[in-house]
């Protein structure tokens, strides 16, 4: 039987408990989850692509999620999907504020690749307000981020902001 593979694109700058919550949920639904680090030209990043790959690999190495992998793509999501013969995408919905952007992305991507389908999952209520920028804001002022990101990457994030 054909494997059901889902691609989870995003910045993961850095990954948070919200991202991990979604990935764990997806890994129970799909045979394989590919976390795809993308480059969004409207954003500037704090962590290099290599640092983000390493953080995600560190998180999943120790957990029992053998069907999760990490990939990087500097281009359009639809091109990545077509190139790899994939068509299912995962995104997260936290609050109504996420909706407008996601709606625009789905319709735009569909125009370019009509077989692409996006699945939305909602995180545990504990993470509905959480974002990578919030984590960076706290870390920048020396606050405690350990409730917001996986323990495997707390020191990497702290080190970055001490530089
Ligand atoms: P992007 O630059 O694509 O928005 P992010 O890494 O910020 O990259 O987010 C990637 C995806 O993860 C988005 O669909 C976003 O809604 C989702 N996401 C981010 N934070 C959370 C969270 N706390 N709970 C659930 N989903 C989240």
pLDDT digits (tens, 9 = 90+) for 84-111: 999 999 999 998 889 999 999 999 999 9
Q: Is the pTM of this model over 0.75?
A: yes
| Beta carbons within 8 Å of 59's beta carbon, 6+ residues apart | 15, 20, 150, 152, 153
Pick the CATH number of 5-162 from 3.40.50.620, 1.10.1670.40, 3.90.180.10, 3.40.1030.10: 3.40.50.620
Does residue 19 line the site of ligand 1, with CB under 6 A? yes
Give distance in angstroms: CA of 15 to centre of ligand 1: 9
Average pLDDT over the chain reads 95
Please choose from 17, 18, 134 the residue to mutate so as to test ligand 1's pocket, defined by most ligand atoms within 8 A of CB.
Answer: 18
Closest CA to 22 of 92, 71, 77: 92
Atom of ligand 1 nearest to the CA of 133: 7
Considering only CA atoms, which of 51, 11, 9 is closest in space to residue 33?
Answer: 9
**Atom of ligand 1 minimally distant from the CA of 91:** 14
Q: Determine contact, residues 138/125, Cβ cutoff 8 Å.
A: no
Spatial separation of the C-alpha atoms in residues 87 and 20, rounded to whole Å: 22
Active site residues: 19, 43, 94, 132
All structural domains of the chain with their residue ranges: 5-162
Sheet strands (E) in the chain: 5-10, 32-38, 68-73, 88-92, 117-121
- Cβ(58) to ligand 1 under 6 A? no
β-pair partners for 73: 38
pLDDT tens per residue, range 133-162: 999 999 999 999 999 999 999 999 999 998
Determine contact, residues 65/58, Cβ cutoff 8 Å: no
């Amino acid at each position: 039987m054909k494997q059901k593979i889902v691609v989870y694109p995003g910045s993961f700058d850095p990954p948070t408990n919200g991202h991990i919550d979604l990935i764990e949920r997806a890994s129970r639904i799909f045979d394989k989850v590919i976390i795809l680090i993308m480059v969004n030209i409207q954003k500037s990043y704090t962590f290099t692509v290599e640092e983000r790959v390493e953080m995600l690999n560190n998180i999943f190495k120790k957990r029992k999620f053998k069907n999760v992998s990490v990939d990087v793509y500097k281009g359009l999501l639809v091109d990545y999907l077509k190139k790899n013969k994939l068509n299912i995408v995962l995104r997260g919905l936290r609050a109504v504020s996420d909706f407008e952007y996601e709606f625009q992305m789905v319709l735009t991507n569909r125009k370019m690749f009509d077989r692409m389908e996006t699945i939305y999952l909602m995180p545990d209520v504990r993470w509905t307000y959480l974002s990578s920028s919030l984590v960076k804001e706290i870390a920048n002022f020396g606050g405690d981020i350990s409730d917001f990101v996986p323990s495997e990457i707390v020191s990497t994030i702290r080190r970055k902001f001490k530089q």
